[in-house]
Structure 1
Amino acid sequence: MWDERVPVHVAGEFYDLDGFRARRDVLRDFETAEVGDVTGKTLLHLQCHIGTDTLSWVHRGAARVVGLDFSAPAVEAARSLAADLGHGPERAAFVTSDVYDAARAVPETSYDIVYTGLGALCWLPDIRRWAETAASLVAPGGFLYLAEFHPLTEALDDATGSRIVRDYFRREAAVWEEPGTYADPDAPTVHNRSVEWQHTLGDVVSALAATGLRIEFLHEHDVSLFPRFENFEVQGDYHRFPADHPRIPLIYSLRASRADEAGHS
């Protein structure tokens, strides 16, 4: 499914790669504020897709980034985009691997920052295994940063987001058969089966805490990147509920750090 959708994403307006080549940065303002200055640091991006977020960190000053994705066409697209922007593999490398095998696949044993961007965790059945793998790649004195869509939104009705209509604690997989893609719903596609899992906020935080990382913060944001609910309004770079709608969290972000060699977080 993902392999088939890569050409659609590369050519389409959603990712707008021509625009990205010009502006070179698609990171969200809260991400850059919460991650902070990346100048001179190494960064690993897990589940990087076609690499736009990964390469944005290069343009923000990271000394070296590595992007990892299980779709070989996505990795090839990311490498091509990096080359277009003048970045060789010594500055921006991309590897094909299942995220659970990341520790064996990436070129370095640890990174100053391990980053996972929006829309990644729902594709993983085992959040504890993900946390253990991601945490193992955080260098002493480094941190993991995660931004993700808030699981509460999946319990609400799709029209107004005002009613709870689904089980927040659902554990079974949700299987979908839908043509197209979030980047182009009308795109003709053949491989349309996808499987998703819901991970509660408690599951994610507890999984990371169990690895020994120290949770520095957990923030919740009342903005989204796409029209998740039918009554959303576009406000700047984000989608939000109308002003008269009660605010609920739509995205969350967290940072979890590893102590340095001296034992300081």
Structure 2
Amino acid sequence: MSVSVPSTSVTEGSDSSVPDGWREDNRAMWDERVPVHVAGSFYDLDGFRTRRDDLRDFERTEVGDVTGKSLLHLQCHIGTDTLSWAHRGAARVVGLDFSAPAVEAARALAADLGYGPDRAAFVTSDVYDAATAVPEPSYDIVYTGLGALCWLPDIRRWAETAASLVAPGGFLYLAEFHPVAETLDDETGTRVVRDYFTRDPQVWNEPGTYADLDAVTVHNRSVEWQHTLGDVVSALAATGLRIEFLHEHDVSLFPRFANFEVRDGYHRFPADHPRIPLIYSLRASRVS
């Protein structure tokens, strides 16, 4: 269970209080966990070097054929999803992450798979600075995968940055954990115990990592924010992108609730449990 600790706040954006040192704490936390993720079974990099594709089935379907297209992956971590798109035919993929060790791991993995920097490039940058950090001014597809937005205090600034990198005729695709699930009790997922609309920072002091709960870690303070579905969709719509669809999925990638079962390769509630959205995905296009 995560433990909240008090912090001093300042303001960034119009509706988010931001604890001092939040970015440095989050970066130190992620930097320390990269070796655990590279060596562990959760990402299974030895297996990935063979299968080369870790994307979820709904992502493959909703994004569609990427053959010959350029793709930018924001907040790419160690690059497995980024390189999965290269494996599926993207002409060029670029991954961006604020953790230098993560970017180094992604570059090493790309080299292992035989992708040079002309096919798969990785850059170290804060996501808010992506527009000036990536090698091309725009991409056919801007992709953001699961577990990324909670690390950002200002969703409108993220949307503006991401949208600015979508080429004419291209689109942004986002898959993210559903904020409704974060309101429910951790044991059974049947009781609402948290405020859905809170914009207060959530400050945790929690050892280990989702990839290895028993990992010994030192940099354990992290800061997260919850963004409602309405906030995310409205932020993207305000950039001028056209929302093509918003889909909700009753599956997860990890045992978020104590009563989860694994079926069909996903973590799910038992069959007799009321279904709730656990992941959402959306696609927003830029008209040519």
TM-score scaled by structure 2? 0.90
Distance in 2 between residues matched to 1:53 and 1:81, nearest whole Å: 12
Matched ranges for 1:37-48 at <5 A: 37-48=65-76
RMSD of aligned alpha carbons: 0.3
Distance in 1 between residues matched to 2:182 and 2:138, nearest whole Å: 34
The structure with higher relative contact order (CA 8 Å, sep 6+) is 2
In the alignment, structure 1 residue 74 sits paired with structure 2 residue 136? no
1:56 is aligned with what amino acid? S
Aligned pair partner of 1:17 in 40, 45, 67: 45
Matched ranges for 1:115-264 at <5 A: 115-260=143-288
1:128 is aligned with what amino acid? R
SS in structure 2 of the partner of residue 108 of structure 1 = coil
In the alignment, structure 1 residue 112 sits paired with structure 2 residue 131? no
Distance in 2 between residues matched to 1:21 and 1:47, nearest whole Å: 21
Q: CA deviation at 1:248?
A: 0.4
1:209 is aligned with what amino acid? A
Q: Runs ≥4 in structure 1, deviation > 3 angstroms?
A: none
Cα-to-partner distance string for 1:143-165 (whole Å, 9 max, x where unaligned): 00000000001100000000000
Q: CA deviation at 1:190?
A: 0.4
Distance in 1 between residues matched to 2:85 and 2:185, nearest whole Å: 35
Distance in 2 between residues matched to 1:144 and 1:237, nearest whole Å: 26
Distance in 2 between residues matched to 1:40 and 1:146, nearest whole Å: 20
Q: CA deviation at 1:84?
A: 0.3
Q: CA deviation at 1:46?
A: 0.0
Distance in 2 between residues matched to 1:138 and 1:237, nearest whole Å: 32
1:98 is aligned with what amino acid? D
Q: CA deviation at 1:236?
A: 1.9
Q: Percent sequence identity over matched residues? A: 88
User: Could you tell me which residue of structure 2 aligns to residue 4 of structure 1?
Assistant: 32
1:16 is aligned with what amino acid? D
SS in structure 1 of the partner of residue 190 of structure 2 = coil
SS in structure 2 of the partner of residue 217 of structure 1 = strand
TM-score scaled by structure 1? 0.98
Cα-to-partner distance string for 1:177-212 (whole Å, 9 max, x where unaligned): 000001001000000001000000000000000000
Q: CA deviation at 1:237?
A: 1.4
2:249 is aligned with what amino acid? H
User: Could you tell me which residue of structure 2 aligns to residue 88 of structure 1?
Assistant: 116
Q: CA deviation at 1:245?
A: 0.4
Unaligned runs of 5+ in 2: 1-28
Cα-to-partner distance string for 1:95-141 (whole Å, 9 max, x where unaligned): 00000000000000000000000000000000000000000000000
User: Could you tell me which residue of structure 2 aligns to residue 263 of structure 1?
Assistant: none
Distance in 2 between residues matched to 1:159 and 1:18, nearest whole Å: 33
Distance in 2 between residues matched to 1:164 and 1:107, nearest whole Å: 44
Distance in 1 between residues matched to 2:270 and 2:30, nearest whole Å: 33
Cα-to-partner distance string for 1:19-72 (whole Å, 9 max, x where unaligned): 000100000000000000000000000000000000000000000000000000
